[in-house]
A and B are shown apart, each in its own frame.
Chain A
Amino acid sequence: MIENLNVFAVRTLTQKEYFAPGHRSCQGCAEALAVRLVCKALGRNIIIAAATGCMEIVSSPLPYTSWRVPWFHCAFENTAAVASGIEVGLKVLMRKGRIPKKKIVTIAMAGDGGTADIGLQALSGALERGHDFIYVCTDNEAYMNTGIQRSSSTPFGASTTTSPAGKMKPGQITWKKNMAAIAAAHSIPYVATACPSYPLDLIQKVRKAADIPGAAYIHILSVCPTGWRSAPDQSIKLGRLAVETGTFPLYEVERGKYHLSIDFPKLKPIKEYLRLQGRFRHLTDEMIEEIQDRIQRDYEILRERSKRGF
């Protein structure tokens, strides 16, 4: 891992902004940062198919737009299918000589709800068909756009407006769906996890995904101060803690081969990550221990896979 990341991040990135400033995302929104970095990684020759959600709603109030690249919003649950259509449309038009041949990267962008819940069928279909596109899931771990309702990507114990911590239930009682593993199970050429707190890693993964022919899936953890009940100035730190505690390991699955992007010999205690977020404030020590055990176990499995390569 490169040290002094911030220095490198600033110097090597294009100055150009494709996701223009002036959009309406909340203070400290790491999802907006993730989207901005994805665009910067690839430049102008992209087409984005976006799902309904935070990034759609903050960027496109008619007649304004924050997009300096072609951007298409259709609905919530079908982003992978719409991106499939864009990809095949471009392919056939180029083949038939109706538009000039050039590399245009099709990107599907959806949140965790639009990916792990309502969009899962369309995503699975698109991955099975093997469209040459990048599917980017910006995961803020709940339906933030509609007011912090739980999704299948909400972590165990998190209090949301539909999994509230109460006398009988301790917030979310199910474990976060492992979307990257589900994507990898489709045997697509490239799957990766990323986080904007590690911008160079994120950019490299997006570029790699664009270079590899076929479908690529990138799952990006996107800290949401509004939904996580965290301080807006802690978003980058929280992203780092998610990785350092093993909550959200950064890894790649390239043609079925697992590779941890950063391996920590010793993970930071999960408490450091949880205590900065109001959504976990009600957790008892037993629950924190349960989470810690699960994370440790999952991380070991991933580390083994990374060593083995599959």
Chain B
Amino acid sequence: MGKRVGMEVSIAAAEAVKQANVDVISAYPITPQTHIVEHLSEIVANGELDAEFFCVESEHSAMSICIGSEATGARSFTCTSAQGLALMAEMTYIASGLRLPILMIVANRTLSAPLSIWNDHSDTMMIRDCGWIQFFVENGQEVYDHVFISYRVGEDRSVLFPTIINMDGFILSHVIEPIELIDQEKVDKFLPPYQPLYRLHPDQPVTMGAFALPAIFAETKKAQEVALRASLPKILEVWKEFGDLTGRYYHPVETYKAEDAETLLVTMGSIGETASVAVDRMREEGRSVGLVKIRLWRPFPFEALKQATLHAKNLVVIDRAVSVGGPGGPVASEVKAAIYGEPLRPTVYNFIAGISGRDVAPFDFIKMVDKAEIEIEEGKKDGYELYGVRE
């Protein structure tokens, strides 16, 4: 067991970046990501980490610097939120297309308008298809752990993809949690320095970022798609190794009292911990309710999700972002797509809850399950509601 200390989750994230011996850090301040960069700048200023730190003039440049430095073979890190992520969105697609294993922590925040600094998933859902490995973590420990896991997976020569760790802004970024730190020796063994397959260097000149005509573009895109899907076994393997090292085992989909449940809540991110409290209360009342939490958002864990959900009668999927004018929340869309081909599948009821940091308490989950169960019983097949809106 490593040392267990109480610290703010943003500080823990920065400490992990330090322990990962990152070479280049480039970021632009935006609430609620700021504490991570502030602490990293201190770490570099104090000489605790030998890295180049740049607080640049925009998020677009923050990601662009990471793209440039990662292409030379330097382990690179950035973090952002909401509008900042929107500004660098163009670059996220390029980073993955060029197969540069950058790590970015997104302290999830609502995308304007109206302007809001509070937490939901509308920012990261905007770049859902950017081709990065994407995790949604539930607590500070997961943020800390996934810094090492992300670099280890992303830099593997069979993978070579950038990674996003999504952590809920404020709800995670600004709270103090007990974090079990890993000894540096163990980190170094788990995460050796990055050895790129190709790097920008005159000794071995390469062209990176060529343009593709229609005759070859589809083939390159397919190669990217195949490679991102194929990263799943590597992610599982690294999670297993990490578990053996620390005792903390992670899975693409986590379940809680789900095996025999008729109704399953499906969540993503920190809201899962609150949902588990609601599940306990409902179980105490003798109700058959369980919880499924999606940790790996890309590559989407279709098989694991099916295994966790197909036996149930009802799925109550909680989304933290609206697909305005669309079929409901993005998580529900994915869940429906995953189970669509199954002859016997649960009915999905989709709630959008807790957008822009609106609190979602255990009783809210109970109310949502109540409503979904009644309406599905009455024959509703396409339940969808923006929960808790005052009308």
Q: Taking beta carbons and an 8 Å cutoff, which residues of A are in contact with B?
A: 44-47, 49-50, 56-57, 60-65, 67-75, 77-78, 80-93, 95-96, 98-99, 104, 121-122, 124-126, 128-129
How many interface residues does B have (CB within 8 Å)?
Answer: 44
Q: Are A74 and B67 in contact (CB under 8 A)?
A: yes
Q: Which of B209-217, B240-248, B313-321 contacts A (4 or more CB under 8 A)?
A: B209-217
- Report whether B51 and A86 are in contact in the complex, using a CB–CB cutoff of 8 Å: no
Of the candidates A84, A89, A121, the one whose C-beta lies within 8 Å of that of B74 is A89
Taken together as a complex, chains A and B put the C-alpha atoms of A125 and B54 apart, in Å, by 11
The 7 nearest A-B residue pairs measured at CB: A85-B68, A89-B72, A125-B57, A73-B209, A89-B69, A81-B64, A81-B61
Measured CB to CB, the residues of B under 8 A from A are 23-24, 26, 50-52, 54, 56-58, 60-61, 64-74, 76, 90-91, 94, 98, 193, 200-202, 204-213, 216, 220
Using known A-B contacts A60-B209, A61-B211, A95-B50, determine if residue A78 contacts B60 with beta carbons closer than 8 Å. Answer: yes
Considering the chains assembled together, what is the distance between the CA atoms of A109 and B68 in angstroms? 14
Chain A residues whose C-beta falls within 8 Å of the C-beta of B57 in the assembled complex: 121-122, 124-125, 128
CA of A70 to CA of B201 in the docked complex: distance in angstroms?
6
Which of B51, B66, B94, B98 is the one whose CB lies under 8 Å from A85? B66
Pick from B66, B202, B216 the residue with the most CB of A within 10 Å. B202
Q: Which residue of A lies closest to B213 (CB)?
A: A61
Say whether A92 contacts B50, CB under 8 Å. yes
Q: How far is the CB of A115 from chain B (nearest CB, A)?
A: 15
Contacts of B51 in A (CB 8 A): 92
For residue B66, which residues in chain A have a CB less than 8 angstroms away from its CB? 85
Known: A62-B216, A85-B71, A122-B57. A78 touches B64 (CB 8 A): yes
Closest to B93 in A: A75
- Cα–Cα, bound, A261→B270 (Å): 63
Given contact pairs A73-B211, A85-B72, A88-B65, a sample of 11 additional A-B residue pairs in the complex whose CB atoms are under 8 Å apart? A46-B202, A47-B202, A71-B206, A75-B64, A78-B60, A89-B68, A91-B52, A98-B73, A99-B73, A121-B61, A126-B61
**Which A residues lie within 8 Å of B50 (CB)?**
92, 95-96
> Is B202 touching A69 in the complex (CB atoms < 8 A)?
yes
Q: Which chain B residues lie closer than 8 Å to A60 at the CB level?
A: 207, 209-211
- CB–CB A81/B72 < 8 A: no
Known: A85-B24, A89-B74. A71 touches B208 (CB 8 A): yes
Q: Is the CB of B216 within 8 A of A72?
A: no
| Chain B residues near A81 (CB-CB < 8 A) | 56, 60-61, 64-65, 68
Count, A-B residue pairs, CB within 8 A: 168
* B212 cross-chain contacts in A, Cβ below 8 A: 61-62
In the complex, what distance in Å separates the CA atom of A41 from the CA atom of B316?
A: 65
Q: How far is the CB of A105 from chain B (nearest CB, A)?
A: 9
- Are A44's CB and B73's CB within 8 A? no
Q: Which residues of A contact B61 (CB under 8 A)?
A: 78, 80-81, 84, 121-122, 125-126
Which of A46, A74, A87, A104 has the most chain B CB atoms inside 10 A of its CB?
Answer: A74
Which B residues are in CB contact (< 8 Å) with A124? 57
Knowing A49-B68, A63-B216, A72-B200 touch, does A89 contact B211 (C-beta < 8 A)?
no
Minimal beta-carbon separation of A89 from chain B (angstroms): 3
Contact among A64, A71, A86, A125 with B58 in the assembled complex (CB-CB below 8 Å): A125
Instruction: Determine the distance from Cα of A138 to Cα of B57 in the docked complex, in whole angstroms.
Output: 24
A85 in contact with B70 given A62-B216, A75-B94, A98-B193 (CB within 8 Å) = yes
**Across the interface, which residues of B come within 8 angstroms of A99, CB to CB?**
73, 201
Contacts of A75 in B (CB 8 A): 64, 90-91, 94
Give complex CA distance A44, B201 in Å: 10
> By the criterion CB–CB under 8 Å, are B213 and A96 in contact?
no
Contact of B67 among A69, A85, A88 (CB under 8 A): A85
Residue with the greatest number of chain B CB neighbours at <10 A, chosen from A46, A87, A92:
A92
Q: Which residues of A contact B220 (CB under 8 A)?
A: 62
Supposing A98-B73, A125-B61 touch, asked if A88 and B210 sit within 8 A by C-beta, the answer is: no
A95 neighbours in B (Cβ, 8 Å) = 50
| A-side contacts of B72, CB under 8 Å | 47, 85-86, 89-90, 93
Q: Is the CB of A125 within 8 A of B56?
A: yes
**Which A residue sits closest to B97, measured CB to CB?**
A74
Are A71 and B207 closer than 8 Å at their CB atoms?
yes
User: CA–CA, A88 to B61, complex, Å?
Assistant: 14
Interface centre among A62, A85, A86 (most CB of B within 10 A): A85
**Smallest Cβ-Cβ distance to A69: which chain B residue:** B205
A121 CB contact (under 8 Å) in B58, B65, B209 = B58
* Contact A93:B74 (CB < 8 A) given known A56-B211, A128-B57: yes
Give Cα A61 to B216, complex, Å: 10
CB contacts (< 8 Å) of B58 on chain A: these are: 121-122, 125
Contacts of B90 in A (CB 8 A): 75
**Chain A to chain B contacts (Cβ below 8 Å), 18 pairs:** A44-B202, A49-B68, A70-B204, A70-B205, A73-B209, A78-B60, A81-B61, A81-B65, A83-B68, A85-B65, A85-B70, A86-B72, A88-B24, A88-B65, A89-B71, A91-B52, A93-B73, A98-B73
The answer for the CA separation of A62 and B74 in the assembled complex, in Å, is 25
Q: Which residues of A contact B209 (CB under 8 A)?
A: 50, 60, 72-74
With contact pairs A85-B70, A122-B60 given, residues A47 and B210 touching in the complex (Cβ less than 8 Å)? no
The answer to whether B68 touches A104 (Cβ under 8 A) is no
Contacts of A74 in B (CB 8 A): 64, 67-68, 91, 94, 98, 209
Which single residue of chain A is at the shortest CB-CB distance from B212? Answer: A62
- Give bound CA distance, A90 to B72, whole Å: 6
CB closest residue in chain A, given B58: A121
Q: How far is the CA of A88 from the CA of B62 in the complex (A)?
A: 13
Q: Are the C-beta atoms of B91 and A78 separated by less than 8 Å?
A: yes
Question: Contacts A63-B210, A93-B73: A86 and B201 contacting too (C-beta < 8 A)?
Answer: no
- On whether the beta carbons of B211 and A88 are closer than 8 Å, the reply is no
A84 and B57 alpha carbons, distance in the complex (Å): 12
Do the beta carbons of B202 and A122 come within 8 Å of each other? no
